[in-house]
Structure 1
Amino acid sequence: MDDTVVVQRRVGLLDLDLNLHMNHAQFLVVVEETLLEGLQRSGFLRSILGIGAVPMVGGTMISYRRELKVFQPYCVKLRYLGADERWHVFGFTFLNRVGQVVALGYVKGGAVGRRGQTRGLLPSLVLWEAHRQRFPALRTEPGLPLVAKTWLEAEGDAFERWRDGRMNV
């Protein structure tokens, strides 16, 4: 995915929390829907499905700066940042109608194979090769910006501490 995906939305009544602004879960739903739209627009979704896999979200990091109230219009911008050996990482921003940042963050995703030799989480290079076969002129190479690398490393460290019993939650 080379282009930024921009989706226009409006806060609905069922999107509200007790403070009468858009709830945390709805932000994550919108991120996932925007991600799927971007995968579909770019042809990457067809490439994933073509090798017998399905896309999945593996984690999200989000920070909030402003609220979105009922019926307020907003837009979401999502852009592909790169990949490591396991994950594809996207950055996203929620903007209110005057262009102020409401929330921003990162989402990592991959593809899970459902049959034969493609069972389990597929390496990101397998997905790139499948996509290159459909789009030979694709020039984007895997690689991640520092902020995404740091996030994935911190997440890996946290899971390692949990497995070792050094993290009690």
Structure 2
Amino acid sequence: MKALLVIDYTVDFVTGKLPVGQPALDIEERIAALTEEFVECGDYVVMAVDVHEENDPDHPETKLFPPHNIRGTEGRDLYGRLREVYENNKNRIEWMDKTRYSAFHETGLDEELKKRGIRELHLAGVCTDICVLHTAVDAYNKGYSLVIHRGAAASFNAAGHAWALEHFAGTLGAEITD
């Protein structure tokens, strides 16, 4: 059994408050098509979406990044065609709020995957070297096999993106695919 985790492909991370910009725009079609493929096959699909409270002085990211993905704002909406795919398949795609880089941190994701007998995780989204990376490390440490979709992942930092892809393969044993 396998699952697709789409991480943080939101307005704020593509063109909004903390934009990856062109690299994120370049993956729009691939990330939407990949999501449709998994939905059509009946696989478990999760939109793991960053959520922050406005003016939260205790969140560690507050010191690192400008406010982004604030609860109740349009910045948390899925971006572009992915939003359409989600809207058309809400009954087959799970929305999961996350408050840290990793989609496993206090979300119940591990329990949901185990309940479904899932052992293989496919990862897509932004940022390759931040949230996708931290999710992948946690998945590896929990014993999941990983497939990273290079054509459906992007980062602010081209060097960080390239390093993360090498790290996934060389250190986490992930399969890297387009």
TM-score in same-fold range (> 0.5): no
* TM-score normalised by L of structure 2: 0.27
- In our comparison, the structure showing a higher alpha carbon Rg is 1
Structure with more contact order per residue of length (Cα contacts < 8 Å, sep ≥ 6):
2
* TM-score normalised by L of structure 1: 0.27
